[in-house]
Structure 1
Amino acid sequence: MTDPNAQPPVDPSQNPPQAPQGPASGQPPYGGQQPQPGQPQPGQPYPGQQPPAGQPYGQQPYGQQPYGQVPPQQYPYQGQQTGAAPLTQAEDKQWASFAHFGGALGAFLGAGMAGWIAPLIIYMVFKDRGPFTRQESKEALNFQLTVTIYVIGLYVVGTILALVLIGFLLYPLAWLVGIIGVIFGIIGGVKVNNGEAYRYFHAIRMVK
């Protein structure tokens, strides 16, 4: 006997099994979308976009690698905040070399007594905007101040001793000191322009 309440058997030919629902062919798997061509992958910055802090992207900014004898610095330059924009690497090297070249030009035009003017101006304007400019303008300033002191001293002593007719012998020595200021100022400018720190053979360190 058959049970009148039993379900009739299912004919597979009439009701084929349904395939599980899923992504259509060519569609990305569940949980995401396929990125379009030209779009960056997740976690990668767009071209020109700054990476997150601590994750370098492309070339490292100036200041992480030292040049010459200047210790590495993180820009903005960690000096006194003046509100002015920090110098770039090229500008920092350029103004540092101008301090030496300007000292040589001032020594030449001022007969050894005006070489300190250009380094002083550059030091006062750019000392807080670039570490290389600060270092080299201070070095040039100390050297040219030393040359100026020696030249003026020789002229003064020579003038006093001129009363006994031997002071005029010190004038050529004063000219020689002025020429030394010109020559070594040019040498310092060339060295610094090549990215090398320069230290003069003698200078009174008046500016620390």
Structure 2
Amino acid sequence: MSDPNRPGHPEDQPPQGQPGLGPTPPPPPGQYGQYGQYGQYGQYGQPAQPPYGQPPYGGPGPLSQDEITWGSAAHWSALVAAFVALAFLGPLIVMLTKGTQSAYVRRQAVESLNFQLSILIYGIVSLALCLVLIGFLLLPIVGVVWLVFTILAAVRAGQGEEYHYPLTIRMVS
């Protein structure tokens, strides 16, 4: 027989839970997870994880007209900003102002920003290649590719679709 007055004895320890209060009662039904689960893998006190594939915020609900408009503006603004030779400024401004309010607008602005920066790099390389005469052929091609894909992206985003530019270097995420 062992001495129950000895400190650290297993029989002296209170049941799991708060000291001296007994075992931790289960949470009320429906508080954690579905189907009466108290947590992931049945652990008490831990909330269940959201269902697999569920986005962390916003939910997969339909896009508002405001989100669609700003998503399209992220692409159209590159055409407008090209008049001052800095096409990446339009998507950057949209990303910084409205990208914090909507995940869709941010994705479209980041996509457009990455494409505009990539086209800027392609244009600089083509300009440098003008020294060996191949750049005179590449510059108009880069210009046409920029115009066609920017308009295509703006139209698709105006319909509420996700658009991913081809030939893009992913610099901003």
Q: Mark yes or no: TM-score above 0.5.
A: yes
Say whether residues 1:204 and 2:169 are aligned partners: yes
Residue-by-residue CA offset, 1:68-127 (whole Å, 9 max, x unaligned):
xxx58438xxxxxxxxxxxx82111111101111223444x36xx522110111111112
Structure number, greater radius of gyration: 1
Structure 1 residue runs without a partner (length 5+): 1-70, 76-87, 162-166
**1:203 to partner: Cα distance:** 0.5
Using structure 2 for the length normalisation, give the TM-score.
0.60
Residue 74 of structure 2 aligns with which residue?
99
> Would you tell me which structure has more helix in proportion to its own residues?
2
Residue-by-residue CA offset, 1:42-92 (whole Å, 9 max, x unaligned):
xxxxxxxxxxxxxxxxxxxxxxxxxxxxx58438xxxxxxxxxxxx82111
Counterpart contact for 2:115–2:165, Cα < 8 Å: yes
Using structure 1 for the length normalisation, give the TM-score.
0.51
Residue-by-residue CA offset, 1:184-204 (whole Å, 9 max, x unaligned):
111001001101010112200
Secondary structure class of the residue paired with 2:154: helix
- Describe how 1:95-134 pairs up with structure 2 within 5 A: 95-107=70-82, 109=83, 114-134=86-106
| RMSD of aligned Cα (Å) | 2.1
CA distance in 1, matches of 2:150, 2:117: 12
The runs of at least 4 consecutive aligned structure 1 residues that moved more than 4 Å come to none
CA distance in 2, matches of 1:136, 1:101: 11
Match 1:179 to one of 112, 133, 144: 144
Structure 2 residue runs without a partner (length 5+): 1-54
**1:182 to partner: Cα distance:** 1.3
Whose relative contact order is higher, 1 or 2, with alpha carbons under 8 Å and at least 6 apart? 1
Instruction: Number of aligned residue pairs: give it.
Output: 116
